[in-house]
Structure 1
Amino acid sequence: MSASRNLSGALCAAALAFAATQARAADYVVGLSVATLANPFFQGMTKGVQRGIAAHPDLRLINTSANGDANTQTNQVTDLINQHVSALILNPINANAIVPVVREANKKGIPVFTLDRGAACGTCQVNFLETNNTALGKQGADFIADHLKQRYGTIKGNVVDLEGLLGTTAGDEREKGFSDEFEALQKTNPGLKLVARQAADFDAGKAFTITTQLLAAHHDIDAIFNGNDDNAVGAVRAIRQADRFEPIGNPKHIIIISIDGTEQALSDIRKGRMDATLSQNPLTMAEQSVNYVEMYLHGEKSKVPAHQYWPHLLITKATIDSPAAKAYGLWGDQVTQ
C-alpha cells in the first residue's frame, strides 16, 4: 500500500473520529434557568454549571436567566421544553409558580433537577440539591446569641431580622430556621428582643433603604441577621452612611451575619465591617448537579438522590484564610478571578 493511500486512510479515520466526537457532543442538551444574574451567587452557580458541562463532552448547555421575573422564567422554561432538551436544571424564582412548567416537563419525559431552590411539588424533581437553609438560619441566630453573651455576659440585646426573598425555598427556610431558634432563645433570655423584621428580598438597595429607616427609629440596635449577603451589603452601607459604624469588639458595634459567601461579603469581613457569612459554594454545588444529570441520562438513576444538602461553612475574619476555608473554597474570590 502506497504512502498516499496510508495517509488518506489515516485522514479518513481521523475525520470519522472527529465526526463521532461531534455527535457525542450533541447527544444531550441541558437547559438551565437561573433566577437572575444580578446576584453574584447566581453568577457563581451559572459558572459552576458551565464548568460541569465542560467536564462532560456528551452534554451541551442552553443557558437562560429570568432576570428576577417568575413569568419570564415560566416562558423560558416552556421554550426549553419545546426545544426538546434532554434535561432541565432549574433555580426557581418562586417555588409554587414554577410547578406547572415542571409538571409539563414531566409529561414530556424531561427530567428536572432543581438547584439551590426547589419546586413545591416533591417528586416532580429528580433531584433537589441545596444547602440546609433551615440550619443556616438557626446558625445565624446562635451566632448572634453567642456574640451578645460575650458582650453583655448574658444573651440580651436588640436584634433586626432582614428577611430574604419569601416565596423561595431558600428565603422561607432561612427565615424559619432563624425565627424558630430566636424564639427558643427568647424563652430563657427575656432580654433578647426582636425590634424589627422586614423583607429585603435578597436586594442590597432594599436592605440599604430599610436599614436606614430602622437606624433612624432605633438608636440601640445590637445585631442584624441578613437573609443573604446582598442584604448584609446594603445594611453595612446604611450603617456607615448613618455614621453608626463601630469596629468589631466595640460595645456599640452592630453585629452583622449573613449567608452566601460572595466576594463583597468576603471583602467586608476582611475589612472588619461585617462579622460573618455562612458560605455556600454554588460552584461545586452546581457542578454536582450536572454530574447527577449525566448519571441519570446514562441510566444510573439509582445513584441520584432525590434530595441532598450541600455543606456550608461559617466564615469570619479569624477563619477566612484558614486551611478549612481554602479546602471548602472561597467561591466569591474565585468567581471574580
Structure 2
Amino acid sequence: MSKVGTRLVAAVIAIGSLSAVSSAQAADVVGLSVATLANPFFQGMTRGVQDGIAAHPDLRLINTSANGDANTQTNQVTDLINQHVSALILNPINANSIVPVVKEANRKGIPVFTLDRGAACGGCQVNFLETDNEALGKEGADFIADQLKQRYGSIKGNVVDLEGLLGTTAGDEREKGFSTEFEALQKNNPGLKLVSKQAADFDADKAFNITTQLLAAHSDIDAIFNGNDDNAVGAVRAIRQANRAEPIGNPKHIIIISIDGTEQALSDIRKGQIDGTLSQNPVTMAEQSVKYVEAYLHGGKASIPAHQFWPHMLITKANIDSADVKAYGLWGDEMSK
C-alpha cells in the first residue's frame, strides 16, 4: 500500500475508535463499510465520507473496511447494526451477499445508503449513489473505436477486454456497457476483433499477469479496455516489461482506456502511457451521500432520490490541465498530497 494509503488506514482506525467511544453522546451515529482500503478509489471515498461527516457536527462516524472479503463485510455490518447506528453507508463487495444484512438493517429501522456499488434488492436502499457504470463501459468502447479510426482510417483492429470484478454492480455494468457497444460496432465494422476477454478483478497484479500472457500470444494487439485504473496500471506494466511500449501516435502503440481517475492513472496519462481514464470523483460523491443521510435523519426524506448517477469525465493528456477538468476535480492528485 502507498504511504497515502497507510496514513489513511491509520486515520480510519483512529476515527473509528474515537467515534465508537463518543457514540453514546452523539445524536446520530453513521456506520460506514467500504470494500477495501487497498484501492485508491475507496481511499478517496472514505475521505469523502469523513469530510462530509466533519461538516455536520450532529453526526458521528464508525468506520470499517472489509479488506476485500464479503464475509468480513457481513460481520462488520452486523456489528454496526447491533451497535444501533442511526444509518448505514455501504459500499458492497458483492451485490447479492450484502442483501441479508441490508434487510436486517431494514427490519431494525436503520436506513441504508449504498455508495458506488449497490445491493441486489429492490427498495431496500434509501439511496443508491453511483456513477453510470454502463455508460462508462459504452464510452470506453467508443473511445477505442475513435482512436482506431484515427489510426487506420476505419474502425478495425484487435482489442482486449480486461473485465473488472464481476459480481459487483460496477464490474457487471461496465462490462455490459462495453460488450453491448463493442458488439454494435462490430456489426458495421467487421475488421474490429475482440481477441480476448478476461476478468482482472480490478487488480493490478492480475491484470499484469493476464496481459503478459496475451502479449506473448498476440503480436498485434491494438487496444485494451480496462474495467478500472488498477487493471490499466497492471496492463501498462506488462507492456513495458514486454518491450512493447510505444508513444501515443505510433502505429504500434497499444491504446489504453480505463475508469476511475486515480493518481497513478493520471501520472501515466501525463507520461503518455495511458490514453485516457473515465474519471469518477469518489470524494464529492461520498460527500453527497452523507448529505442524504443528514437529510433523512433530520426531516428531508422527500428530497432524496432512490437512485442517482454522479457525473464523470473523460481525462486525456489533451485536457488534463484544462479548466473543465480542474473544476470537476483531479481527486487522484488531491489524494496524493
Superposed pair shares fold, TM > 0.5: yes
1-side partners of 2:40 and 2:141: how far apart? 24
Amino acid at match of 2:334: Q
- The one-letter code matched in structure 2 to 1:157 is G
How far apart, in 2, do the equivalents of 1:23 and 1:151 lie? 59
Q: Residues 136 and 259 of structure 2 are in contact (CA less than 8 Å); yes or no, is this contact kept in structure 1?
A: yes
The one-character-per-residue Cα deviations of 1:34-91 (angstroms, maximum 9, x if unpaired) are 0000000000000000000000000000000000000000000000000000000000
User: How far has the Cα of 1:25 moved from its partner?
Assistant: 6.9
Matched, 1:34 2:12: no
Distance in 2 between the 1:242 and 1:152 partners?
24
Q: Aligned pair 1:302/2:302, yes or no?
A: yes
- Alignment match, 1:247: 247
Contact 1:261 1:277 in 2 (8 A): yes
The answer to whether the 8 Å contact 1:24/1:58 transfers is: no
1:12-91 correspondence runs (5 A): 26-91=26-91
Residue identity in the other structure for 2:56: H
Please tell me whether the aligned partners of residues 207 and 235 of structure 2 are also in contact (alpha carbons under 8 angstroms).
Answer: yes
Q: Distance in 2 between matches of 1:335 and 1:77?
A: 27
- Alignment of 1:325 with 2:334, yes or no, is no
The residue type paired with residue 133 of structure 1 is N
1:160 counterpart SS class: strand
Q: Supply the distance in 2 between the matched residues of 1:318 and 1:100 (Cα, whole angstroms).
A: 46
Q: In the alignment, is residue 103 of structure 1 matched against residue 103 of structure 2?
A: yes
Determine the C-alpha separation between the residues in 1 that align with 2:112 and 2:23.
Answer: 24
- What's 1:124 paired with? 124
2:5 aligned partner: none
Query: Are the equivalent residues in 1 in contact too, given 2:229–2:259 (CA < 8 A)?
Result: yes
Contact 2:23 2:29 in 1 (8 A): no
Structure 1 gaps, min length 5: 1-21
Any conservation in 1 of the 2:258–2:276 contact (CA below 8 Å)? yes
| Map 1:247-286 → 2, pairs under 5 A | 247-286=247-286
Deviation at 1:336, TM superposition (A): 1.3
AA at the equivalent of 1:252 = K
- Say if 1:25 and 1:57, in contact at 8 Å, map to a contact too: no
Query: Matches of 1:165 and 1:335 in 2, distance apart?
Result: 23
Match of 2:205 in 1: 205
Residue 147 of structure 1, CA deviation: 0.4
Measure the CA separation in 2 of the matches of 1:282 and 1:73: 20
| Greater than 6 Å deviation, 4+ residue runs | 22-25
**Cα distance, 1:122 vs. partner?**
1.8
Q: Deviations over 1:136-185 (max 9, x none)?
A: 00000000000000000000000000000000000000000000000000
Q: d(CA) in 1 for partners of 2:30 and 2:122? A: 21
Distance 2:143 2:24 in 1: 50
Q: Where does structure 2 lack aligned partners over 5 or more consecutive residues?
A: 1-21
**Count of aligned residue pairs for this structure pair:** 316
**Superposition deviation, residue 28 in structure 1:** 0.3
Deviation of 1:189 (Å): 0.2
Identity %: 85
1:24 CA drift (Å): 11
Separation of aligned partners in 2, 1:320 and 1:154 = 27
Separation in 1, partners of 2:265, 2:28: 37
C-alpha distance in structure 2 between counterparts of 1:309 and 1:202, whole Å:
21
- Tell me if structure 1 keeps the 8 A contact 2:23–2:60: no
Counterparts of 2:124 and 2:181 in 1: how far apart (Å)?
31
TM-score (norm 1): 0.93
8 Å contact 1:24–1:57 — kept in the other structure? no
TM (normalized to structure 2)? 0.93
Cα offset for 1:249?
0.2
Q: How far apart, CA to CA, are the structure 1 residues paired with 2:290 and 2:24?
A: 17
Distance between the aligned counterparts of 1:116 and 1:25, measured in 2? 30
